[in-house]
Amino acid sequence: MSETLKFGASVDTRYSGGYLASSFAHPLSNQPKYLTIDGSIRVKTTDDKYELAVIGKNLTNRFIVGGVVDAPNTGTGTGTAVATPADQIGFASLPRTVQLQLTARF
């Protein structure tokens, strides 16, 4: 950028095919395929002492379920012909986040 400032940028992507997030292959735990994008832009001094960065995570704002378990006290009739499956509770990723980061190195 100048004699005293440097500019940097980065982009990271992650792709996953669809999967069942339940360890018991529960059909309600289906996570469709997805692509996420993370990125950052940085300005720092040429001596690397100070840096200002804007960092974005999950810029595509995808809802991603990483794991699923049966909800307690749900479902009935286990082992019978009229069983009702338990409700599913999922563990989701964070939505789109953007942060500002200032770094000083001494």
pLDDT tens per residue across span 12-70: 999 999 999 988 888 888 999 999 999 999 999 999 999 999 999 999 999 999 999 88
Contact 58, 97 (CB under 8 A): yes
**Residue-range domain boundaries for the chain:** 5-104
Whole-number Cα distances in Å, 8 to 14, 56, 59, 105: 21, 14, 18, 17
- Predicted TM-score of the model (pTM): 0.75
Cross-strand pairs, 84: 76
SS3 27: helix
Produce one character per residue of 54-67: b if its CB has 16 or more CB atoms within 10 Å, e if not. eeebbeeebebbee
